[in-house]
Amino acid sequence: MQYRTFGKTGMKVSAVTLGTWGMGGVGWDVYDDEVKEDALKAAWEEGINLIDTAPAYNNGEAERFLGRTLKKLGIRNDVQIATKCGNFFVDGKIYVRDGRYEKIVGQCEESLRNLQTDHIDLMLIHWPDLKTPFEETMDALNHLKKEGKILHIGVSNFTVEQMQQIGQFGEIEAFQPQYSMAFREHEEAIRWAAGQGMGVMTYGSLGGGILSGRYREEREFAETDSRHRFYKHFHGPMFGKVMELLAVMDEISERNDDMPLSQIALLWCYSRPFVSTCITGAQKRERVQENARAFERELSAEDMKLLDEAVGKLSEV
Residues serving a catalytic function are 57
**Nearest approach, Cβ of 202 to ligand NAP (angstroms)?**
8
Q: Is 7 in the site for ligand NAP (CB under 6 A)?
A: no
Contact flag: residue 99 with ligand NAP (CB under 6 A): no
Q: Draw the binding track, 232-271, toward ligand NAP (x: CB under 6 A; -: no contact).
A: ------------------------------x---------
Smallest distance from ligand NAP to CB 213, Å: 8
Report CA torsion sign: 208, 3, 196, 19.
positive
Q: Which among 21-29, 90-98, 130-138, 159-167 is the span making contact with ligand NAP, rule CB under 6 A?
A: 21-29
**CB 19 → ligand NAP: shortest distance, Å?**
2
Write the DSSP assignment of 130-186 as a string of letters: TTS-HHHHHHHHHHHHHTTSEEEEEEES--HHHHHHHGGGS---EEE-B-BTTB-TT
**55 is an interface residue for ligand NAP by CB under 6 A:** no
Query: What is the CB neighbour count within 10 angstroms for residue 182?
Result: 26
Q: According to the binding rule CB under 6 A, does residue 283 interact with ligand NAP?
A: yes
Q: Does the footprint of ligand NAP cover residue 24 (CB under 6 A)?
A: no
Q: Please identify, among the stretches 66-74, 91-99, 198-206, 300-308, the one whose residues bind ligand NAP according to the rule CB under 6 A.
A: 198-206
Euclidean distance between CA atoms 134 and 4, whole angstroms: 30
Binding region for ligand NAP (CB under 6 A) out of 16-24, 104-112, 137-145, 191-199? 16-24
214 binds ligand NAP (CB under 6 A): yes
- Is residue 243 within 8 A of residue 210, CB to CB? The reply is no
In contact, 175 and 6? CB cutoff 8 Å:
no
Q: Rounded to the nearest 5°, which phi and psi values hold at 106?
A: -65, -40
| Helix (H) / strand (E) containing 277 | strand 277-281
Q: Which of residues 115-174 bind ligand NAP (CB under 6 A)?
A: 126, 156-157
Q: Which DSSP letter does residue 81 get? A: E
The H-or-E segment that residue 90 falls in is: strand 87-90
Residue 48 to residue 44: CA distance in whole angstroms: 5
Our CB check for ligand NAP shows the closer of 134 and 179 to be 179
Shortest separation between residue 63's beta carbon and ligand NAP, angstroms = 11
- The SS3 of residue 16 is strand
Using the rule CB under 6 A, which residue among 21, 175, 215, 268 binds ligand NAP? 21
DSSP summary character for residue 18: E
Question: Which of 83, 166, 280, 307 forms a contact with ligand NAP (CB under 6 A)?
Answer: 280
Q: Which of 277, 273, 62 is nearest to 174 (CA)?
A: 277
Q: Which residues bind ligand NAP (CB under 6 A)?
A: 19-22, 28-29, 52, 126, 156-157, 176, 203-209, 212, 214, 226, 262, 279-284, 287, 290-291
